[in-house]
Chain A
Amino acid sequence: MSLLVVATYPVAGGPVLDGPVRVEPDGTVLIGGTRVPNAQGTSAMLGAACRVAAHLGTAAPHALVAGDIGRGEGTREVYRHLAGTVARVRPSVIAFHYMQPIMALMRTATEHLTTAAPDALLVADAGGMYAAKAAGIASRFELMTPDVGEVGFLADPSVSHPAYVSQYLFGTTGFDPVALAHKAYETGGASRVLLIKGARDHIVCEGELIDTVDEPCVPELEAIGGTGDTVTGLACGFLSAGFPTVDAAICACKANREAGRVMGATPAMHARDLVAVLPEVLGEHLCRWSGACAS
């Protein structure tokens, strides 16, 4: 069981990095021994996934990333390398994260994975999710992790990016994430399971609400860049350890919130502060949340 994360890192012209991920004691994220900037986005996601792997004693995540600051070169590079990496790593979970949303490349990649990694569970968040939905292949995915600003995008078949969603946005009258998740599933805009991140997290399976998580309530987490990425990283870590997808999503929500409480979150803190307290949070609570430990 292993996790492959396909994404980019925020360095113009940064080379392809293809290797196992580890987090140094000071929070630095290394991919194949090379340091990547500690920002919101994929480094936050990888940091959280590493904490899960370390806690559960499973294989460290493997990352295939390239430098990209929005022009798409790095995204194209990782798609070029994807087939080789998948053949070598043989992942059980493949997560597409911060990437330029290029529909044609995502479509080609998932078609390839249908034969090259037919049993791998596909996860998408961020640009990977935008591309999968806009390309009309969201239903090929096991898990997507939109926030409340993105679920309306999944529900509207006519839009190719959340920036064009003027209705169904969080804060607008009648906003209902459960109804939007149902509509997204019915119209082919959603994965089998959705983890909708918000003041109350919603876990939806095949269009139907399964559970919500709203404790502890730490509103400051929404203001901290990367705390949605850490939820995704946690869920991917649990999923690749063999948790059922819904359980992985629920445990991810609980762990992220508890970490926010433990770190004493303020709007001026960073995702790395949350990643730093995850060992403590997982050690103290995961047995109970997952129901996997003997009492």
Chain B
Amino acid sequence: MRLFGRKEKQDNPGAEEALGLLLFDNVNEALAAERVLNTAGYAITLVAPPQHLRAGCDLSVSMHRVEHVGAMRTLSEADVAVRMWVDDAEGTMAVSDIVTSVDFGAWLMVRAGNMKIVVEKATGMIVNTSGGGCPDIPYLNLELVGLTLEEAPRPKELGYTLCGLMLDRAYAEACAALGRNAR
């Protein structure tokens, strides 16, 4: 018997209830947790942990305290490793949601935070990625350039860092701007 079944997703994960944090050893575990918990219907937000809990470019998942036991079991079943649960979400910061674009005629460049993607409008082909400073960015550049938006894997599924996550946002915005389907 499941103690915590599939939940109806809520729009605002923390307006009235106390929040806590799931911490991870690396960003790709946090991104995997986001996918698993979203699918399971939990109301979550990706945030930076408070300063005293940071080791580098960390990403954590904020959620209602009362739901974390079931969420941790769901993650365990999905083989997503959680470093620890913290019963306090004070001092967290949200990931930037600022997106801008530049029209280069035959190409569209979309910036999300510190990351950029450039797409040939006529074909949807990714011709460049840039920005960032984490080691998955040159790797993503090699993997994505030359593929169309439809062919390319999602940067957040291939990358491991916050830079990869921001590139994914740029990718999604480029898909929306050019009327193409994101994977």
Residues of B within 8 A of A170 (CB): 100, 111
Task: Please tell me if the beta carbons of A166 and B137 are within 8 angstroms of each other in the complex.
Answer: no
Closest chain-A Cβ to B7's Cβ sits at a distance in Å of: 28
Known A-B contacts A163-B95, A225-B130; the reply to A158 vs B51 at CB < 8 A is yes
Interface size of A by Cβ–Cβ distance < 8 Å?
62
Report the bound CA distance from A74 to B98 in whole Å. Answer: 31
Task: Please tell me if the beta carbons of A160 and B58 are within 8 angstroms of each other in the complex.
Answer: yes
Residues of B within 8 A of A169 (CB): 96, 98, 113
Q: Which of the residues A98, A222, A268 comes within 8 Å of B135, measured between beta carbons?
A: A98
Known A-B contacts A149-B114, A163-B114, A223-B118; the reply to A130 vs B141 at CB < 8 A is no
Report the bound CA distance from A105 to B40 in whole Å. Answer: 37
Task: Please tell me if the beta carbons of B96 and A70 are within 8 angstroms of each other in the complex.
Answer: no
- Is chain A's interface secondary structure helix, strand, loop, or mixed overall? loop
- Specify which of A153, A164, A170 lies most central, judged by the most chain B CB atoms within 10 Å of its CB: A164
Q: CB of A242 within 8 A of chain B? A: no
Chain-B contact segment, one of A38-46, A47-55, A180-188, A203-211: A38-46
Q: CB of B163 within 8 A of chain A? A: yes
Report the bound CA distance from A268 to B122 in whole Å. Answer: 13
Residues of A within 8 A of B66 (CB): none
Chain A stretch 46-101: residues in CB contact (< 8 A) with chain B: 68-72, 74-75, 98-101
Chain A stretch 161-180: residues in CB contact (< 8 A) with chain B: 161-166, 169-172
Closest chain-B Cβ to A137's Cβ sits at a distance in Å of: 14
Q: CB of B171 within 8 A of chain A? A: no
Q: CB of B55 within 8 A of chain A? A: yes
Q: CB of A237 within 8 A of chain B? A: no
Closest chain-A Cβ to B151's Cβ sits at a distance in Å of: 17
Q: Which of the residues B111, B134, B159 comes within 8 Å of A171, measured between beta carbons?
A: B111
Known A-B contacts A161-B162, A171-B100; the reply to A100 vs B56 at CB < 8 A is yes
Q: What residue in chain B is nearest A156 (Cβ atoms)?
A: B93
Task: Please tell me if the beta carbons of A69 and B56 are within 8 angstroms of each other in the complex.
Answer: no
Q: Which of the residues B51, B109, B134, B136 comes within 8 Å of A223, measured between beta carbons?
A: B109
Report the bound CA distance from A71 to B158 in whole Å. Answer: 11
Residues of B within 8 A of A98 (CB): 133-135, 137-138
Report the bound CA distance from A223 to B128 in whole Å. Answer: 7
Task: Please tell me if the beta carbons of A70 and B134 are within 8 angstroms of each other in the complex.
Answer: yes
- Cβ proximity bits B72-116 to A, threshold 8 Å, 1 near / 0 not: 000000000000000000000111111010101001010101111
Task: Please tell me if the beta carbons of B135 and A69 are within 8 angstroms of each other in the complex.
Answer: yes
Report the bound CA distance from A39 to B140 in whole Å. Answer: 10
Q: CB of A216 within 8 A of chain B? A: no
Residues of B within 8 A of A8 (CB): 135
- Cβ proximity bits A108-130 to B, threshold 8 Å, 1 near / 0 not: 00000000000000000111111
Chain A stretch 204-242: residues in CB contact (< 8 A) with chain B: 219-220, 222-228
Report the bound CA distance from A236 to B54 in whole Å. Answer: 30
Q: CB of A18 within 8 A of chain B? A: no
- Cβ proximity bits A247-265 to B, threshold 8 Å, 1 near / 0 not: 0000000000000000000
Q: Which residues of B contact A (CB under 8 A)?
A: 26-28, 48, 51, 54-58, 93-98, 100, 102, 104, 107, 109, 111, 113-116, 118, 120, 127-139, 141-142, 145, 159-166
Since A149-B113, A225-B130, A267-B127 are in contact, a sample of 8 more A-B pairs with Cβ atoms closer than 8 Å, ordered by chain A residue number, is A40-B141, A162-B132, A163-B113, A171-B100, A223-B128, A223-B130, A226-B130, A267-B118
Can you give 10 contacting A-B residue pairs, CB < 8 Å?
A42-B138, A70-B160, A75-B135, A126-B134, A169-B98, A172-B98, A223-B130, A224-B130, A225-B145, A226-B141
